[in-house]
């Protein structure tokens, strides 16, 4: 699996692609990893269906977002770099949301229709 870590100030965003998982799998994953029977929030970003869990609160800022459209799922995990908790500023929260809302789905066949530059 390919996994990227993006450092944004006091936070890291881990990103990976998952061709086999489902958005519904986020709940099972968190139940197995941390605690039982969590509630996940349904998400929809630009027509891409997803789920999220976590918050900017103690003991550590940790938020997971999983989105899937077509054959691939993209998973984001926001974590504070410092432990126990890093309270984000309004600007940091806005920056995190801007990253998520920039998510777009572009089907592979669309690339085939775009002529190469001459």
Q: Does the predicted TM-score (pTM) go above 0.85?
A: no
Q: What integer pLDDT is reported at residue 8 of this predicted model?
A: 92
Mean confidence (pLDDT) of the chain: 86
**pLDDT single digits (tens) 33-44:** 876 788 899 999
Burial class (CB within 10 angstroms; exposed 0-12, middle 13-18, buried 19+) of 90: exposed
Say how far residue 75 (Cα) sits from the centre of its chain.
4
Is pLDDT larger for residue 91 or for residue 113?
A: 91
């Amino acid at each position: 699996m390919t996994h990227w870590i993006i450092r944004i100030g006091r936070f890291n965003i881990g990103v990976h692609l998952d061709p086999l998982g489902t958005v519904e799998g986020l709940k099972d994953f968190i139940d197995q990893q941390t605690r039982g029977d969590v509630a996940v929030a349904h998400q929809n970003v630009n027509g891409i269906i997803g789920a999220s869990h976590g918050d900017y609160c103690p003991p550590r800022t940790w938020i997971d977002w999983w989105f899937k459209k077509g054959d691939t799922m993209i998973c984001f995990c926001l974590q504070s770099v410092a432990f126990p908790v890093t309270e984000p500023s309004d600007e940091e929260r806005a920056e995190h949301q801007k990253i998520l809302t920039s998510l777009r789905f572009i089907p592979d066949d669309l690339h085939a229709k775009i002529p190469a530059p001459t």
